[in-house]
């Protein structure tokens, strides 16, 4: 298909940082929709890059931006502003004891980088354990703990990074269980890294729901056992809630479902609601120890007042609009209809996830569970042509899974519309296959 003129011009001057760009040019966005240059509305089932958790251009976020632009936008990194102090207080008020001290940066990569640096300094070690299939960022430290196709072709990672299999019950990574994980993969994984370790453990970094790996949930008993194994080895547990924070799973933060308080909590995407804002949160004891040891992490936009003002608006929306409660109710409704689609379409092998973070796995047949990534691509393209923006995991060697994460403000009418389009897209794509 011929490329539109705007796309050819874009490719003349832009580095292609994610393969091919989307074939639609977006001019504006609002609520659950994005709008093309031609005025066509697209229902957004990914909340942008999973960031516009309360909907695109929420009125309170827009107002926070306007107010912030009249005060301070940026300051010297050592200088603080009232919004930054207020955000640290309000955020820690939402969290239990042991998550008491914050630092505010721009992206999830940075927030994980801060946590890893502090964990290394506090522990005196340098070895970091991560899940296969995980995604924690693109900067050096966070990328070294990211086990996806983004590792290939970019040279050596930071020494000391070790991996364990994720508890992917639908496709047991150690060929042991079927559909229900009994944590054997965790015991085997920790035994494997113990044999590889040089005795300098620092941290273990995990997501409550592995998103890029295909919406793989950790159970409460899994994370509790992982925390026990970490404590036995002197590993500090970092919980990366880039996508699971701020209500998406039906609770304010994912760790609440898992009944385990990590040593570090990292927030990004959803904290800024579409603006670049991220946070690393840890205990007073760890912060005091790192401070005494000379911890430093100065970046150009650390503690900037403008995004902090947006963070305050996000907390207000989360609480006063009961977004976690909305995610729980709307997610149950959404999942029910996805399960009905599974009953109708043989190509849907599995439906999983909770709240408004759901996964739809596309397979060639349910007996073999062989991934049908090409069919997933066709379904995605058909959805887009009919006005629905979907995201399918396209990691080499991994199954094709649609990651569905619409804004928590989504209505049931919008869910119904999305389900209708997805149903039609599957039918069209399957017909074209045959």
Residue 17, Cβ density class (10 Å: 0-12 exposed, 13-18 middle, ≥19 buried): exposed
196 is catalytic: no
Q: CATH code at 401?
A: 3.90.1150.10
Q: CATH code at 144?
A: 3.40.640.10
Q: Which of 120, 352, 378, 403 is catalytic?
A: 403
Instruction: Provide CB contacts within 8 A for 188, sequence distance 6+.
Output: 165, 174
In a shared domain, residues 301 and 423: no
Q: Which of 44, 110, 127, 135 is catalytic?
A: 135
Instruction: Provide CB contacts within 8 A for 379, sequence distance 6+.
Output: 362, 390, 392, 402, 422, 425, 426, 429
The number of distinct structural domains making up the chain is 2
In a shared domain, residues 16 and 76: no
Q: Which of 44, 110, 113, 207 is catalytic?
A: 207
DSSP letters spanning 306-358: HHHHHHHHHHHHHHHTTHHHHHHHHHHHHHHHHHHHHHH-TTEEEEEEETTEE
Please say which residue of 299, 320, 341 terminates a domain: 320
Residue 75, Cβ density class (10 Å: 0-12 exposed, 13-18 middle, ≥19 buried): middle
How far CA 268 is from CA of 33, 104, 147, 254, 298, in Å, comes to 22, 9, 19, 13, 18
In a shared domain, residues 189 and 314: yes
In a shared domain, residues 288 and 304: yes
In a shared domain, residues 262 and 362: no
240 is catalytic: yes
In a shared domain, residues 30 and 174: no
DSSP letters spanning 176-222: --SSS--SHHHHHHHHHHHHH--S-EEEEEE-SEETTTTSEEPPHHH
269 is catalytic: yes
Q: How distant is the alpha carbon of residue 402 from its chain centre?
A: 14
Q: Which of 44, 171, 243, 354 is catalytic?
A: 243
Question: What is the residue range of 272's domain?
Answer: 61-320
Q: Which residues, listed in sequence order, are joined to residue 56 by a DSSP beta bridge?
A: 31
120 is catalytic: no
Model confidence, pTM: 0.95
In a shared domain, residues 196 and 311: yes
Neighbour tally for 240: CB within 10 Å: 31
Q: Which of 240, 304, 361, 372 is catalytic?
A: 240
Please say which residue of 320, 348, 382 terminates a domain: 320
Give the model's pLDDT for residue 279: 98
117 is catalytic: no
Report the distance separating Cα 404 and Cα 408, nearest Å.
12
In a shared domain, residues 198 and 315: yes
In a shared domain, residues 241 and 358: no
What string of pLDDT tens digits covers the 434 residues of the chain? Answer: 588 999 999 999 999 998 889 999 999 999 999 999 999 999 999 999 999 999 999 999 999 999 999 999 999 999 999 999 999 999 999 999 999 999 999 999 999 999 999 999 999 999 999 999 999 999 999 999 999 878 888 999 999 999 999 999 898 888 888 778 899 999 999 999 999 999 999 999 999 999 989 999 999 999 999 999 999 999 999 999 999 999 999 999 999 999 999 999 999 999 999 999 999 999 999 999 999 999 999 999 999 999 999 999 999 999 999 999 999 999 999 999 999 999 999 999 999 999 999 999 999 999 999 999 999 999 999 999 999 999 887 555 456 899 999 999 999 999 999 999 999 999 999 987 65
Residue 104 DSSP SS3: strand
Give the model's pLDDT for residue 432: 74
Please say which residue of 266, 296, 320 terminates a domain: 320
243 is catalytic: yes
In a shared domain, residues 47 and 71: no
Give the model's pLDDT for residue 151: 85
Give the model's pLDDT for residue 394: 59
Q: Which of 227, 269, 335, 354 is catalytic?
A: 269
In a shared domain, residues 107 and 250: yes
Q: Where are the beta strands (DSSP E) in 20-167?
A: 26-30, 33-36, 41-44, 101-105, 127-131, 161-164
């Amino acid at each position: 298909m011929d490329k539109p003129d705007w796309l050819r011009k874009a490719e003349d001057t832009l580095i292609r940082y994610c393969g091919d760009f989307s074939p639609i040019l977006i001019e504006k966005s609002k609520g659950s929709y994005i709008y093309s240059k031609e005025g066509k509305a697209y229902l957004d089932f990914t909340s942008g890059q999973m960031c516009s958790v309360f909907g695109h251009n929420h009125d309170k976020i827009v107002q926070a931006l306007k107010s912030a632009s009249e005060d301070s936008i940026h300051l010297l990194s050592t200088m603080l502003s009232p919004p930054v102090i207020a955000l640290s207080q309000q955020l820690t008020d939402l969290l239990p004891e042991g998550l008491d001290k914050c630092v505010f940066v721009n992206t999830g990569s940075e927030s994980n980088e801060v946590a890893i640096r502090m964990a290394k300094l506090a522990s005196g070690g340098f070895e970091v354990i991560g899940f296969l299939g995980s995604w924690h960022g693109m900067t050096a430290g966070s990328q070294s703990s990211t086990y996806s196709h983004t590792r290939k072709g970019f040279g050596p990672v930071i020494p000391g990074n070790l991996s364990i299999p994720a508890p992917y019950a639908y496709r047991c990574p150690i060929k042991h269980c079927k559909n229900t994980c009994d944590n054997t993969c965790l015991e085997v994984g920790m035994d494997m890294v113990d044999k590889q370790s040089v005795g300098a453990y620092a941290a273990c970094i995990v997501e409550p729901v592995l998103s890029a790996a295909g919406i793989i949930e950790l159970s409460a008993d899994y994370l509790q056992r992982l925390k026990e194994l970490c404590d036995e080895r002197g590993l500090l547990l970092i919980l990366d809630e880039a996508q699971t924070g701020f209500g998406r799973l039906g609770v304010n933060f994912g760790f609440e479902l898992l009944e385990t308080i990590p040593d570090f909590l990292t927030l990004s995407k959803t904290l800024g609601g579409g603006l670049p804002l991220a946070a690393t949160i840890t205990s007073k004891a760890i912060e005091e120890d790192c401070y005494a040891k000379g911890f430093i992490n100065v970046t150009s936009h650390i503690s900037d007042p403008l995004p902090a003002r947006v963070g305050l608006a996000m907390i207000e929306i989360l609480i006063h609009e009961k977004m976690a409660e909305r995610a729980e109710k709307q997610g149950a409704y959404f999942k029910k209809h996805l399960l009905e689609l599974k009953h109708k379409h043989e190509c849907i092998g599995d439906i999983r996830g909770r709240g408004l973070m759901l996964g739809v796995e596309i397979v060639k047949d349910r007996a073999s569970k062989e991934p049908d990534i090409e069919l997933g691509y066709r379904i995605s393209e058909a959805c887009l042509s009919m006005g629905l923006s979907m995201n399918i995991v396209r990691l080499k060697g991994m199954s094709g899974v649609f990651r569905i994460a619409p804004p928590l403000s989504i209505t049931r009418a919008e869910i119904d519309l999305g389900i209708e389009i997805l149903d039609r897209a599957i039918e069209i794509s399957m017909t074209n296959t045959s």
